Amino acid sequence: MNSRVSYELVETVGVITIDNPPVNALSQAVRAGILDAIRASRADDSKAVLICCAGRTFSAGADISEFGKPPQEPFLPDLLNEIEASDKLVVAALHGTALGGGFETALACHYRIALDSASIGLPEVKLGLFPGAGGTQRIPRLAGVAAAVDLMASGKPITAARAAELGLVDKVVSGELREAALAYTNELLAAGAPVRRVSELDVDPVDSSLFDELRTTLARRARGQIAPLKMLESVQAALTLPFAEGLAQERELFLELMRGSQSNALRHVFFAERTAAKIRGLPRETPRREIKQVGIIGGGTMGGGIAMTFANADFPVVMLEINDAALARGLSIVDRNYDGSVKRGKLSASQATACRELISGTTDYAALAQCDLVIEAVFEDPKLKQDIFARLDKCCKDGAILATNTSYQDVDEIAAATDRPEDVIGLHFFSPAHIMKLLEVVRGEKTADDVLATCMALGKKIRKIPVMSGVCYGFIGNRMLQPYFREGQLCLIEGSTPERVDAAMQEWGMAMGPISVGDLAGLDVGYKAREALAIDERGDPKSFRVSDALVEMGRLGQKSGAGFYTYDAETRVKSSDPVVLEVIVQAAKALDVERREIDADEIVDRLIYSLVNEGLRVVEEGIAQRPSDIDVVYVYGYGFPAWRGGPMHYADAVGLDKVLARVTEFRDRFGAANWTPAPLLQKLAAEGSTIEAWAAAAANG
């Protein structure tokens, strides 16, 4: 048919083979080739048609290179209707992953056979969409409303066996798929199996209250996102409208989402994540160092989580602590975390045991001598970190990568404690390290290219999303977090409450409010960091007076059972504490702050625009390679809602002129010390440009 799709007659079966590596995406050429093959099958001697894919997978869906471009014929819904309308049996043979439009293509076939290792899924919700080529109409007809909604709302793949249980796959086989699929097709022909069009099936009736329940569940689970609710509306059409009318409504709702801001933001994050892995000026052929064994210094919550991260990716790990008692505490943290992973169903008991066996403990630096990578994960004391790296310099083998997990400190100063600064890099994990996806890879002034290339590739191996940062206090994420937290604390002392600040940000879409985040991280972390700074380097006292007062009362956050909130010892459920409001009011009096009512809009704008303003400085200084890297950091590391695209994308969506106007208003109201507009914000707003356009121009030279 064309270079991407072939058609051949195997006895009485016309075999359509899609060969569009790496994932057999449904590009325009593939769609056109399938259509030509289906039409050719009508006129030849075939009695049935088999659709299969070459390579490691069935089609994984849409061609992402076509995203954002005008659609080209044949459109996928039209193609699938033509496949389904065939008067000859059409069978789909699934292997690897059949995702999105790829699985919708299989649903348009009359029968489906799958390898037992195959999985199917509909991940469109992750891009702010839902299946738009008949999926919302066909799946309920096969699997029922509840199962269809769950499959499409979660976006998670299911096994071939589970798909067969739901009626989405007709036969599951092992071994060589093409031969099994040809045999199955011939069996259907011999049995006189009918042409079975899913569109002609009825949806099993459900109680009308089910949709109300599903709507409530989806609204809670996908807080702020509209795609799951639009999907539910389209599924309801499958129950109430004829198939053709349901398809038309599905298409209308799909295109509405495609044109909307949420899908635009989620598609931005999708591409930004992939772009972040690319280091400008670093050749693709840069060699990688071999990492076989990993050492972790520090057995606290962070060190234990990092150890689990590597063990879960099948790396042997040696954890070092200062003495036997500290080591025992550290390993017990690991044990509890693995127990939790089993209870939550993240790992089986046997998997957890196998991973745990990869982690050993020591109190002797000599045990790190054969490690290929050593990560320091002790608390934020720059002198302690330098002492540790001086010891590592002496005990680690040549070529070992020496990494610091510091959240704030100068990686170059830490590297200077060694005679091999080229081997030193920052690997900033986020807590809990075995769960959080983000990894900031901090490139020091003297970090060797092969060390950087190794760590970026290693980030993917341990199932993290690596983003490169330059060296500055706090790197990308925590540097920007400082003004964000500052404004949260200022809103508190100026008249709000912890509950109102957190509620405003969560209702806007943040995973947690900033006050709760502070309690989770530990209020003493910031307290100790400020202690290491000169008085004039600590910033506005109003921005930390309340937090410091709580620390001095012994209220460190969740770990001490009380911070801005109090926490149940067993469940960690938080509750308000009137004592905290008293502390806030007293701090305001001491600093001569007149408290006032602060509405949610002001809270949100102060916190989010402080992120945007600082983010633009981070980009302009070259700490972040590109604005979209900042968006990846905040979506995957700080709970920024992906459906808003990250701080930089959100600023473009609002309009930089509007952002500048609000920042300027805050400068006039609260002073230039905290609210001087970033030069890049002023420049782009004056030009009527966008951050995205500026980044594109910078990338092109």
CA–CA dist 405, 409 (Å, integer): 9
DSSP type of residue 590: H
The single residue of 124, 250, 376, 440 carrying the catalytic annotation is 124
- CB 400, CB 429: distance < 8 Å: no
Q: Which amino acid is at 608?
A: I
DSSP state of 367: G
- Strand-strand pairing, 294-297 and 373-376: parallel
Per annotation, catalytic residue among 84, 104, 321, 376:
104
Distance CA 229, CA 264 (A): 17
CA angle 175, 181, 185 (to 5 degrees): 150
Count of C-beta atoms within a 10 Å radius of residue 576: 13
**Is 104 noted as a catalytic residue in this protein?**
yes
Read off φ and ψ for residue 378, nearest 5 degrees: -95, 175
Distance in angstroms (rounded) separating the CA atoms of residues 152 and 120: 11
Contact 37, 16 (CB under 8 A): yes
CB 84 within 8 A of CB 76: no
Tokens in use for 226? 């509209």
In the chain, the N- to C-terminal Cα span, in Å, equals: 41
Q: Is the dihedral of CA 509, 512, 516, 518 positive or negative?
A: negative
CA distance 423 to 42: 64
Helix, strand, coil shares of the chain, percent, nearest 5, are 55, 10, 35
142 closest CA partner among 160, 158, 165: 165
Instruction: Judge whether 124 counts as a catalytic residue.
Output: yes
Residues classed as catalytic = 104, 124
